[in-house]
Amino acid sequence: MKAFILLKKDIRTVLRNRRELIWMILVPLILLAANFYLQDQAMEIRVALVGDVSLLPTLEERIEEARASQIKLIIWPLREREAAKRLENGAIHAYLVVTPQAARMHVNVADTEGVVAQAIFAEVIRDSNQKLAEAALAAMVDDPASFLLPMDWQVVAAGRQVSSAGQLIFSSLFVIMGVMTALSLGQQSISMERHKNTLISLRKSPLTDRQIVWAKLGAALFSTFLPLVVIIILTTYLLPETFVMDPAFYLIILAVSFNSAALGVLIGAYVRGSNEGTGLRFLLTLPAMFLAAAPVSLPPWLEKITSVVPTLVSAQVVRSYFVAGYSPTFGPLAYLVLSGVVSMSLASSCLGREE
């Protein structure tokens, strides 16, 4: 119960510090606005064309007219084997094979971009209204008969995920909130007490070191979740329902924040100098930020590292949730919770180190 007294004091302190609170809400809101802007601007769909390359300029022109959004469609000719390989490793979202007898499209439907590409091509080449499609094709090629064949859609679900800019920015936004904010608040919760010389007063009181670090963790989590909740409430109608209404999303943020805040508390308890602490914090969080926003798949050796270092595991968990179509991976979540508990135990034993 004593820990609750300290937690209550810390929460009161957080709520009183209005300027800091406003910044904690304002900065993610700005990032979110930037996310929507970039998402709108940067949706890029890469489609390869296999077969009759002479059709390319007409096809591009036709697609440009047909699409309604700000999507940037990139089409270029490739050999089928090369196109299939690129679709498999995620370099392109789809490829279209055009022969005099048939039009066949291979799509990675695990990606938003793949699905959008499918829709656009369906509109242009094989509209549900066959007459409209015929007219469209007639306008495109000299010999429409060569195209008036059924379109064959082949779905490639096994292909690697191609991340959209929007998904990556969502991923980095929540890594900033879950990892960077929680870690920073966890560290500060202890180092500020040390800086103000109040840590000695707390350690001299009937509170045990364990109670102190757990209360500090609670306060760091409160300060992490408060802006998050406010932001989600403020932007309910803007954020995709796919994750706002998904309990798994909150489970991930909870595990990631818990782990990061615990790591922050450990750094705060162990490190005496503020510069040393800040350096360590950046060393742990910056790679996580880059990882969350990295548009490419990681090489195997880097993937091994990201499955051990807690902040990188957190970034991977958030990233894969957004990139893999909002499906959580529970193994790494369990690892995060476990390593968070270990961090707290170490923090408790470090707190009184030659105080």
Partner 1 sequence: MNAIVTHNLTKVFASRVGSTTAVKQLTLMIKANSIYGLIGHNGAGKTTTFMLLNTLLEPTSGSGLVLGLDLVKQKKRIRNLTGLLTENLRLYDELTVEETLFFFAELYGIKAPVEELLRRFDLLDWRRQQIDKLSTGMRKKVAILSACIHRPRLLFLDEPFSGLDPLAMQGLRDFIRYLLEYNEMTVVIASHNLKELAELCDEIGVMKEGEMVVSGSLAAIKSRYGFNDYLRLQVDRLPTGLEELIDVTAPNTISVTNKPDCLGRVLAALGEQGINILDIDKEAAALEDIYQCVYQEAGQ
Tell which positions 195-224 bind partner 1, by CB under 8 A.
195-198, 200-207
Nearer to partner 1, 101 or 197 (CB): 197
Nearer to partner 1, 99 or 198 (CB): 198
Burial of 174 (0-12, 13-18, 19+ CB in 10 A): buried
Q: Does 273 bind partner 1 (CB under 8 A)?
A: no
Least distance CB 187 / partner 1 (angstroms): 18
Find the Cα–Cα–Cα–Cα dihedral 86, 92, 96, 97, rounded to 10°: -10
Least distance CB 3 / partner 1 (angstroms): 10
Classified as helix, coil or strand, 109 is coil
Nearer to partner 1, 5 or 53 (CB): 5
Nearer to partner 1, 198 or 307 (CB): 198
Classified as helix, coil or strand, 340 is helix
Tell which positions 8-67 bind partner 1, by CB under 8 A.
9, 12-13, 16-17
Nearest-angstrom CA–CA distance, 275 and 272: 9
Find the Cα–Cα–Cα–Cα dihedral 219, 224, 229, 231, rounded to 10°: 140
Least distance CB 202 / partner 1 (angstroms): 8
Least distance CB 252 / partner 1 (angstroms): 32
Least distance CB 272 / partner 1 (angstroms): 11
Nearest-angstrom CA–CA distance, 91 and 82: 11
Q: How many residues bind partner 1 (CB under 8 A)?
A: 23
Least distance CB 192 / partner 1 (angstroms): 9
* Site track for partner 1 across 155-194, x = CB under 8 A: ----------------------------------------
**CA angle (15 as vertex; 208, 202 as ends), nearest 5:** 20
- Per the rule left: phi > 0, alpha: psi between -120 and 50, beta: everything else, 309 is beta
Least distance CB 205 / partner 1 (angstroms): 4
Tell which positions 229-248 bind partner 1, by CB under 8 A.
none
> Taking the alpha carbons of 227, 233, 238, 241 in that order, is the dihedral positive or negative?
positive
DSSP state of 161: P
Nearer to partner 1, 13 or 327 (CB): 13
> What are the residues whose beta carbons fall under 8 Å from the beta carbon of 328, sequence distance 6 or more?
248, 249, 251, 252, 317, 321
Classified as helix, coil or strand, 63 is helix
Nearer to partner 1, 17 or 89 (CB): 17
Contact between 91 and 61 (Cβ < 8 Å): no
Residues of this chain that bind partner 1 (CB under 8 A): 2, 5-6, 9, 12-13, 16-17, 195-198, 200-207, 352, 354-355
